[in-house]
């Protein structure tokens, strides 16, 4: 039985890393790759997206520019990048816009990643279709999105109606600023009017209709962060929104899918996720290994650290005393930085003007929390960080395909570029003794894998990762599924739960590989050597694709049952108290066994990692 991991937060400066060694090296220090800041008079925005826009196996970088043009850097391998902003038409499309955020998805199921660029309220956001030829086509005007000119601070690509096409959910920010003043004309609160969030339903022909009210997701919270999750494990995608000015306007919101009514219910309070704070970013991962998403929500002041509790639907607040107490948090990333299986935390911090009663520090540096056996310890030596930078969006990626995750961090300035505000490319320099596994998922018909989960089993332990959309602040991280494996050299088995409910299982997967997993096919190894420029398909691995479904009949039964399975694994029968009462083995070449259960009651039939209930009467 897997033991739930106990998580603690200990706040002190780490000496685990030598002061002379920084785990993350900024290879763009001094503008070695690009000179780029996000320029915005209101100091909002600063999105970054990790996107393999040409499908060559190297992760490219998209940078929002605010009032300046956006940039697209094509990764050529060996940490060399080519500015493709003009050849891809990104420069031409964005140079007259004020961009805030960038989100990634595939709206036409062609296998190439498209872009949604959020802008300020006087402008329509941009929908850019990837042509598959190294460039993008601006389809905003014909898509149905152009009439909505709102302050879009983020979006997720999510198939809300299960028609096989990705819809776009957009969070919007303030429409009209209103402050609450005391008798001395000092600001003591806020009464902002925020634009409603929008849900653009994909019609399958590159056009969209706005149906936020119909799906009950047209909240008027001041949204600054959004991501997809599956909060109740029903294989339906839910939406978690982090709202600014939560005490005054709307707290954080959780829209839970209701398949019966084809809509959503707002249930954040039921899960203890309705924090009334100045939410700015959301980080997500399964931190305590219970196969459920955990969250960090950044804030002005202490971040909210929400840990799932398997015994309850409510999340536990793991940071009640503010031990993760950054001053002004924005982007949030939870990832395995040293491939030791445990997840670390990175938070992008950066000053923004606030009312006097809030208060924040003008020199609040970014934070990195190392996970040391379940305790989060702030590491001061992981980065060399300029405290004068105003960081905003951040994204996790693997820019050199070495299996160790890197970070791209965007900084912001009011009026003009400054070298201190240049974008950071933090390359992971961790000791590469630990093993890893990187997965690229592809569903049938190239439909989006958002919502898919992958569980890796090894040595009686299990790690679950989810393919999600959104997260951090105004940004989109790599869509690869990454497992840190420590000293584990081979995965005993790996289960993929696909968005359509299908399941696949693979056995004996060796570590330190980039794999492509296509639904209903064998995994394919990807060769990411610099010699061939990118990852290419080589040979299928020896692992078999096996249906995890098995059947038990009749059910209910008077005692005699038949069990059919394609899995050549033991069949275990447990009573309602969890006691093993019978063990069967399917003979070689057979697919069925017969069993008899004498006592009445409810029993559990388990084969591998799948189980079914049966009633004996």
Whichever domain contains 578, its CATH number is 2.60.40.10
- Residue ending a domain, among 362, 393, 428, is 428
Under the banding of pLDDT at 50, 70 and 90, the label for residue 318 is: confident
Same domain, 239 and 380: yes
Is 534 contained in some domain? Answer: no
Is 177 contained in some domain? Answer: yes
Which has more pLDDT, 356 or 97? 97
Which has more pLDDT, 524 or 101? 101
Q: State which residues form the domain around 71.
A: 38-428
Q: How far is CA 479 from the centre of its chain?
A: 8
Number of Cβ within 10 Å of residue 18's Cβ equals 8
Is 308 contained in some domain? Answer: yes
**Paired tokens of 298:** 């950044």
Most confident of 18-27, 296-305, 473-482, 504-513: 473-482
Buried b (16+ CB within 10 A) or exposed e, 202-229: beeebebebbbeebebbbbbbbbbbbbb
Is 506 contained in some domain? Answer: no
Q: Residue range 105-112: average pLDDT?
A: 98
* Number of domains the chain is built from: 2
**Paired tokens of 348:** 């992008």
Is 319 contained in some domain? Answer: yes
Under the banding of pLDDT at 50, 70 and 90, the label for residue 529 is: very low
Q: Residue range 178-205: average pLDDT?
A: 96
pLDDT in the model for residue 537: 42
Lowest mean pLDDT among 2-6, 458-462, 594-598: 2-6
Is 537 contained in some domain? Answer: no
pLDDT in the model for residue 17: 42
Q: Residue range 266-295: average pLDDT?
A: 95
Is 576 contained in some domain? Answer: yes
SS3 406: strand
CATH number of the domain at 417, please.
2.130.10.10
pLDDT in the model for residue 548: 53
**Paired tokens of 212:** 């936020």
Residue among 117, 118, 45, 479 at smallest CA distance from 280: 45
Phi-psi region of 382 (alpha: psi -120 to 50; beta: other; left: phi over 0): alpha
Q: Is the pLDDT of residue 113 over 60?
A: yes
Same domain, 553 and 414: no
**Paired tokens of 575:** 């009573």
Q: Is the pLDDT of residue 586 over 90?
A: no
Residue in this structure with the two tokens 């069967």, named with its chain if needed: 584
- Residue ending a domain, among 428, 462, 479, is 428
Number of Cβ within 10 Å of residue 371's Cβ equals 20
Q: Looking at 200-289, list the stretches that DSSP marks H as alpha helix, in order from N- to C-terminal side.
A: none
pLDDT in the model for residue 375: 80
Under the banding of pLDDT at 50, 70 and 90, the label for residue 158 is: very high
- Residue ending a domain, among 428, 446, 469, is 428
Spatial contact of 112 and 123, defined as CB atoms under 8 Å apart: no
Under the banding of pLDDT at 50, 70 and 90, the label for residue 384 is: low
pLDDT, mean over the chain: 88
Q: Residue range 286-307: average pLDDT?
A: 92
Residue among 327, 340, 321 at smallest CA distance from 280: 327
Cite the beta strand spans of 108-245 per DSSP E.
114-119, 126-130, 136-138, 152-158, 167-172, 174-176, 179-181, 187-190, 193-194, 198-202, 208-210, 222-229, 238-244
Spatial contact of 282 and 257, defined as CB atoms under 8 Å apart: no
Same domain, 180 and 314: yes
The whole-angstrom separation of Cα 454 and Cα 440 is 11
Task: Convert the pLDDT of each residue in 46-64 to its tens digit.
Answer: 999 999 999 999 999 999 9
Q: Residue range 2-24: average pLDDT?
A: 52
Q: Is the pLDDT of residue 9 over 60?
A: no
Is 530 contained in some domain? Answer: no
Same domain, 554 and 423: no
Same domain, 143 and 291: yes
The whole-angstrom separation of Cα 261 and Cα 593 is 41
As a dihedral over the C-alpha atoms of residue 302, residue 370, residue 368, residue 238, rounded to 10 degrees, the angle is -60
pTM (predicted TM-score):
0.86
Spatial contact of 235 and 499, defined as CB atoms under 8 Å apart: yes
Task: List strands edge to edge, sheet with 344-349.
Answer: 8-13, 375-378, 367-372, 344-349, 329-335
Q: Is the pLDDT of residue 542 over 50?
A: no
């Amino acid at each position: 039985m897997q033991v739930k991991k106990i998580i603690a937060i200990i706040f002190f400066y780490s000496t685990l890393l030598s002061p002379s060694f920084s785990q993350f090296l900024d290879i763009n220090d001094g503008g070695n790759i690009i000179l780029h800041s996000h320029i915005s008079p209101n100091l909002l925005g600063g999105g970054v997206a990790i996107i393999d826009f040409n499908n060559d196996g190297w992760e490219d970088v998209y940078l929002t520019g605010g009032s300046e043009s956006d940039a697209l850097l094509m990764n050529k391998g060996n940490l060399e990048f080519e500015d493709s902003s003009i050849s891809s038409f990104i420069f031409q499309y964005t140079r007259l816009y004020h961009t805030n955020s960038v989100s990634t998805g595939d709206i036409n199921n062609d296998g190439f990643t498209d872009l949604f660029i959020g802008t300020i309220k006087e402008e329509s956001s941009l929908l850019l279709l990837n042509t598959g030829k190294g460039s993008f086509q601006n389809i905003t005007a014909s898509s149905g999105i152009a009439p909505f000119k709102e302050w879009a601070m983020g979006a997720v690509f999510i198939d809300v109606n299960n028609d096989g096409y990705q819809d776009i959910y957009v969070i919007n920010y303030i429409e009209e600023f209103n402050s609450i003043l005391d008798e001395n004309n000092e600001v003591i609160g806020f009464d902002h009017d925020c634009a409603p969030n929008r849900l653009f339903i994909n019609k399958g022909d590159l056009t969209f209709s706005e149906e936020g009210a119909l799906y009950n997701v047209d909240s008027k919270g001041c949204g600054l962060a959004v991501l997809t999750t599956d909060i109740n494990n029903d294989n339906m995608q839910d939406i978690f929104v982090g709202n600014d000015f939560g005490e005054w306007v709307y707290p954080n919101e959780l829209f839970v899918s209701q398949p019966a009514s084809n809509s959503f219910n707002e249930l954040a309070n039921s899960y203890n996720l309705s924090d009334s704070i100045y939410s700015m970013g959301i980080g997500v991962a399964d931190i305590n290994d219970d196969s459920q998403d955990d969250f960090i929500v950044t804030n002005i002041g202490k971040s909210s650290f929400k840990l799932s509790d398997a015994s309850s639907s409510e999340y536990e607040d793991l940071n009640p005393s503010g031990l993760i107490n950054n001053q002004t948090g924005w982007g949030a990333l939870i990832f395995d930085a040293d491939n030791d299986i445990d997840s670390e935390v990175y938070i992008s911090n950066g000053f923004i003007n606030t009312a006097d009663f809030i208060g924040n520090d003008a020199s609040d540096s970014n934070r990195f929390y190392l996970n040391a056996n379940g305790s989060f310890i702030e590491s001061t030596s992981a980065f060399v960080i300029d405290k004068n930078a105003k960081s905003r969006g951040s994204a996790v990626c693997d820019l050199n395909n070495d299996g160790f995750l890197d970070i791209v961090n965007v900084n912001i300035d009011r009026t003009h570029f400054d070298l201190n505000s240049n974008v950071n490319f933090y390359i992971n320099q961790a000791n590469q003794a630990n093993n890893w596994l990187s997965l690229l998922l592809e569903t049938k018909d190239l439909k989006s894998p958002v919502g898919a989960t992958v569980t890796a089993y090894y040595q009686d332990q299990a790690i679950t990762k989810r393919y999600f959309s959104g997260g951090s602040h105004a940004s989109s991280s790599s869509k690869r599924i990454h497992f840190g494996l420590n000293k584990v050299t081979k995965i005993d088995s790996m289960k993929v739960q696909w968005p359509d409910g299908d399941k696949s299982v693979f056995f004996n997967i060796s570590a330190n590989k980039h794999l492509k997993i296509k639904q209903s096919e064998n995994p394919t190894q990807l060769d990411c050597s610099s010699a061939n420029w990118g990852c290419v398909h080589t040979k299928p691995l020896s692992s078999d694709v096996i249906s995890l479904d098995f059947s038990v009949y009749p059910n209910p039964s008077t005692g005699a049952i038949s069990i059919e399975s394609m899995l050549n694994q033991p069949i275990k029968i447990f009573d309602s108290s969890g006691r093993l009462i019978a063990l069967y083995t399917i003979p070689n070449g057979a697919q069925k066994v017969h069993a008899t259960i004498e006592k009445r009651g409810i029993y559990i039939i388990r084969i591998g990692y799948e189980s079914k209930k049966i009633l004996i009467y």
